[in-house]
Structure 1
Amino acid sequence: MKNQTPRHTSAIHTSVRHSSDKILTGDRATGPLHIGHFVGSLQQRVILQEQYQQTILVADMQGLTDNGYHPEKVSSNILNVVADYLCVGIDPLKTTICLQSAIPALAELTMYYANLVSVARLQRNPTVKSEIANKSFGQSIPAGFLTYPISQAADITAFNGTLIPVGEDQLPLLEQTNEIVRKINAIAGENILSECRALLSKVPRLPGADGKNKMSKSMHNSLLLSASEKDISRVVKAMYTDPKHININDAGQVEGNVVFTYLDAFHTDCEYVENLKRQYRAGGLGDGKTKKILEECLQDLLRPMRERRLVLMNDKAQLLEILKQGTARSQEEANQVLHRVKGAFGLNLF
């Protein structure tokens, strides 16, 4: 199997598309990206860049909202994230890649918007509540983390984003963005900002290799796009299967079996995978064989990405130049939006 593409590439769901729509998406720069990112967003972006104006934001400032005391975790990963974008096929000639902290208008917009949102409204946001619980902040919630939805609203509006790729768990953030847009437009007395819509994918979130948590580098259950052959082999061999499937001839359970979840996500032959499931359920197919099939699949998928990424990381000047050029273009656009918002508040005095 060579140059395969995961089957979920075509599983993008959207409403009727409008040529005037603009895509805004991005990632926090807190570590290299993994295959969960690839399935969940990266492969979608490669397709979208052929159909829309697309901006991808390397969200380093938002990465600091829970890493403020360990900023090196963010600063050291900015170019890692850019390299990951390029190695999967995102083209800087078709997609604008920019750096959040290098666009001052984003921070200024965040400040203006913050005056229109109450702390109680932020605390009620389901996405924020869930993330606060997951991170066990207790009473020590960083203010930057609590105001994350306001910062995201600044990002979306600054680049005139109207179609935003998100998972269903992120929908409350877009709702809050549109609340802010309506408030700004009411103050201005005209529609100076556009509301946004969600671009939802049918692709389910890929679980971690342990089958118990979402994929996360900190939980040591992820597989990076830059994973070596040995890393891939190690992760696949340790993958969670059916604990009751002790002998090859035992009937096995496919549901909750991470190996089959990954085969569904990455193997290109759906009929072949369905046949494997039937064999596994009936008995006669061992975990060793299914893991071998999956490993071959992942090796073929990640090998060209790893090789391309190695070349990119050996030329960091090129990565910086791509980021610099994209940021310059984005800064012009964000400044125009900032000018309109300041005008709504009567602050364009000179």
Structure 2
Amino acid sequence: MSDVKQPVVLTGDRTTGPLHLGHYIGSLRARVKLQHEAQQFLLLADTQALTDNVGRHQKVTENVIEVALDYLAVGIDPARSTIFIQSQVPELAELMQYLLNLVSVARLERNPTIKAEIQLRGFERDIPAGFLTYPVSQAADITAFKATHVPVGDDQLPMIEQTNELVRRFNNTVERQVLVECEAVLSQVTRLPGLDGKAKMSKSLGNAIPLGASPDEITKAVNSMYTDPNHLRASDPGQVEGNVVFAFLDAFEPDVQKVDELKAHYRRGGLGDSVVKRVLNERLQALIEPIRTRRREFEGDRAEVLNIVRRGTMRAREVAGGTLSEVKGALGLTYFDQ
């Protein structure tokens, strides 16, 4: 028997809306693959989503099952992956409380991901405390399951770094190896641009293509994509860099030679935007159609989807509870244990 331990993977999504192609290329494809190679926990991060959705809690809770449906639609197998709801695993909140004692406010404010998100939301100094401590919450999620690998986008790398800082600080404090450091798993395409070419793909910015998009919605989205504003006629040489259509072709078209030929033709002139968009539209239609079909099948029995998540949450509590017991034991918080 091999002595190599199976990797443990923790990943998840803030449940503020159904998932889109940016999520798919960023980590969903990796999650489907990893479930055959690792023990995988998929977190529906409703608690974290509430940190910047005050007064919009109903939107967050309604989308928990929507994200679970997306997971199942892309091929996540609940027999291989544990899907669970963050707020229903109280062990995570307790572990976060202990980890908060190991990090300063100044260190949290220096986290590049948090700094960028604070600026994006216009919080300035009026930062919700829950949002500022988001990295510690994420660290609790990861360490509770002793995850060794975490699929993330490159913008989340500072979060992994801070998680490992907390792991080392805790283990040094209790003078034993209790928590486990993790490593980031980056996809080949770490970030997909939005349809407008001005920002990463985001449902809140209105520049995303949902995984459940209809054929007409896909066509409309592709036709609206930002290309080269100076490519006014098909005969004009065009620029590929910054061209959203080609960014999508790089991400979703498996025939690399075909994409390279399209790029070369576009650069030298003689290839219209409408032709390139038609190629991309056909590719995305073929990609999303089976996902959309599976999603509709699961939507027909939402009670079973809820049962899948309930069973996953019970499993998650067992695992997180075991880690929490180790943490409390290391801290001496075992007053009544015999």
Give the AA of the match of 2:261: N
For the pair 1:26 / 2:4, whether they are aligned, the reply is no
Q: Does 1:185 align with 2:167?
A: no
Structure 1 length normalisation: TM-score? 0.92
What is the deviation of 1:189?
2.3
Q: Map 1:262-281 onto structure 2 (within 5 A).
A: 262-281=248-267
Asked if 2 retains the 8 angstrom alpha-carbon contact of 1:187 and 1:344, the reply is no
Question: 2:82 — aligned with what?
Answer: 96
1:50 aligns with one of 19, 31, 36: 36
Structure 2 residue 247 is matched with structure 1 residue 261: yes
Alignment correspondent of 2:141:
155
Q: Does 1:246 align with 2:238?
A: no
State which of 200, 203, 206 in structure 2 corresponds to 1:214: 200
> Any unmatched runs of 5+ in structure 1?
1-17
Report the CA distance between 1:292 and its aligned residue. 1.0
CA distance in 2, matches of 1:44, 1:89: 11
1:64 to 2:50 alignment: yes
Q: Is 2:92 the partner of 1:106?
A: yes
**Identical pairs, percent:** 55
Measured after TM superposition, the shift of residue 20 of structure 1 is 3.3
Q: Is the 8 A contact 1:26 1:56 kept in 2?
A: yes
1:329 paired residue among 315, 321, 327: 315
284-293 vs 74-83, which deviates more? 284-293
**Separation of aligned partners in 1, 2:92 and 2:203:** 28
> C-alpha displacement at 1:107, in angstroms?
0.5
Match of 1:303 in 2: 289
For residue 159 of structure 1, what is the amino acid of its counterpart? Answer: F
Cα deviation for residue 115 of structure 1 reads 1.5
Aligned to 2:306: 320
Contact 1:132/1:141 (8 A) holds in 2? yes
2:142 aligned with 1:169: no
Aligned residue identity for 1:154: A
| Structure 1 Cα separation of the partners of residues 161 and 206 of structure 2 | 33
Q: C-alpha deviations, 1:159-180, integer Å up to 9, x for none?
A: 1111112233222212221222
The answer to whether the aligner puts 1:129 opposite 2:102 as a matched pair is no
Instruction: Give the match for residue 270 of structure 2.
Output: 284
Aligned residues: 333
Letter in 1 for 2:115: K
Residues 1:201 and 2:187 are matched in the alignment: yes
- Taking the aligned partners of 1:100 and 1:349, their CA distance within structure 2 comes to 28
Deviation digits for residues 186-245 of structure 1, max 9, x if unmatched? 232211111112222331311001111110111111000000111001111111111111
* Corresponding letter in the other structure for 2:26: G
Structure 2: gaps spanning 5 or more residues? none
Partners of 2:154 and 2:191 within 8 A in 1: no
1:234 aligns with 2:220: yes
